[in-house]
Structure 1
Amino acid sequence: MLGTKLAFSTAYHPQTDGLAERMIQTMEDILRRFCAYGMDYKDHEGYTHDWVTLLPAVQLAYNTTKDFHDMWKRDDDTAAKCIAEAKAYNKQRWDKRHMEPDFKEGDQVLVSTLKFNSLKGPKKMRDSFVGPFTIIRLIGKNAVEVKLTEEFSRKHPVFPVSLVKPYFQTEEAKFPSRKKNPTPPDIVEVEDSPVPVSKIIRARKIRLNGKDQRQYLVRFKHQTADKNKWLAEDAIPDGNLHLRRFRASSRTEQSHQ
C-alpha cells in the first residue's frame, strides 16, 4: 500500500509487537466462550462443533466495538489510579514506623561504623557506633556534617541520618562504678604508620614527568598480594636493607641461568 512500511518483528519475541499480541489475546478470550470445553451445546466428548457458524457474529461484535474514550468520553485511568493508590499505601506504611530525625547544629551524635572499612580488629567484634561527634552543619533533611576527631580525620565528615543516632550524656553520679568507654580504635593508615616490608619482588623503569625513574614492587608483612605497591627507592621503609637483598637475589638468579 502507498505510504506504508513493512516492519518485521523479532522472531520468537512477541514483546516486539505488543499491539498485535494484545489483539490476539482479546480474540482468544472471545473464541474461548464459543469452543471451550463445558458449554451447554456439546457432544458426548464435551466439545461444541457449531462455533464455526458463530464466527460472523464474533467478527461483527469485535469490529463494531467502540474505543473506551468514544464510549465513555474519558480516558481509562484504572492503571494510573492503582499505581497512585499503591504509592499512597506504601508511604503510609513507611511513615507509620519512621520519623524525621530532629537534629540541630551543635548536637552530639554517634556514627555507625558500618562503612568504616579500615578499622582495626575483627569486623564483628567492633563497636557498632563510635563518638560522640558534634554536628556542625545540616545538609537537607537526610544528611549531617560532623566534626571528626583526629582518629577519624581522614574520613569524609558527611553521613546520612540512617547512620547517625543521638548521643545521650552518661550521668556518672548515678553509675559511679561504671568504667569509662575506651577511646575509639585507630584507623590503619600506611602513610602515618608504615607497615614493615617483607621483600622486594621485582623492579621496573618508567618515565615520569619527563625523567626515567626506577620503581620496585614491594610486598608488606602480614598483607596479601593485592596490597603490593610500586614504590620509588626513597619511599621504601628500610630501603637500603631490602634493596641489597633484592639485588643479591637477582645476581644469584642470573648466575644460574
Structure 2
Amino acid sequence: MDWVTGPVPGGKENFNSCLIKADRFSKSMRCLPCHKEDTAIDTALLFWNNIISSYEVPKIIISDRDPKFTSEVWTNLYDMLGKNAVEVKLTEEFSRKHPVFPVSLVKPYFHTEENKFLFRKKNPTPPEIVEVEDSPGPVQKIIKARKIRLNGKDQRQYPVRFKNQTADKDKWLAEDAIPDGNLHLRRFRASKPEHKHDSQIL
C-alpha cells in the first residue's frame, strides 16, 4: 500500500491524499480517499471498511512507511477482528452448564456413512459401451466393382453411393452387406455390361 498526496478532489470530507492498495497477484488496485494526517487506526479502518469486505484479510502488507506504523495497522486490524471468527451465544441455562466447549468433543461431519470411509465405497460398475453404427441412409446406386482376396478366397466389393450423401461418404461393401443388394446389383450389371457375369464368377 502507498499514499499519494497532491491536488486531489477534496469533496465534503476535504480529502487531501489517496491510499493506494494493489494486490501482488491479481494486480487489482483500489484508490481510497484519505487525509495526510491519518494515523494507523484510520488506515486500519479504511482497510476494514473497503478492503477486507472484498478481499478478506491480507497475509502480508508491504508499505513504504516504517515497520512501527505497519505493525500498528496490523494490531488495530486484529482488534477489530476479535478473538473468535464466530461467536456462539448460548442460553443462560447452557452457559452455566457448559461455558466452554472442549475441542476434544468436536467430530467431523459426514453427510452419509458412505462418505465416512471413502476407501470402502463400492465403485459402481461402469455402463457397457454400446457402439451404434451410423447408418448413412438408403442406397442410391453402386458405382463400380473390384475383386480382392480375403482369407484365401476371392471376393467382390462395390463402392456404394447413398442418397443425399456426397462422394466422401461412399463405402466399399460386400454383396451381402449392401441393403437391397439384389435390386441394386441388377441395376448396376444392366448399366455395366462388363460386370454382367459377376455373380457367375464368384
Measured against the shorter chain, the TM-score band is 0.3 to 0.5
| TM-score normalised by structure 2 residue count | 0.32
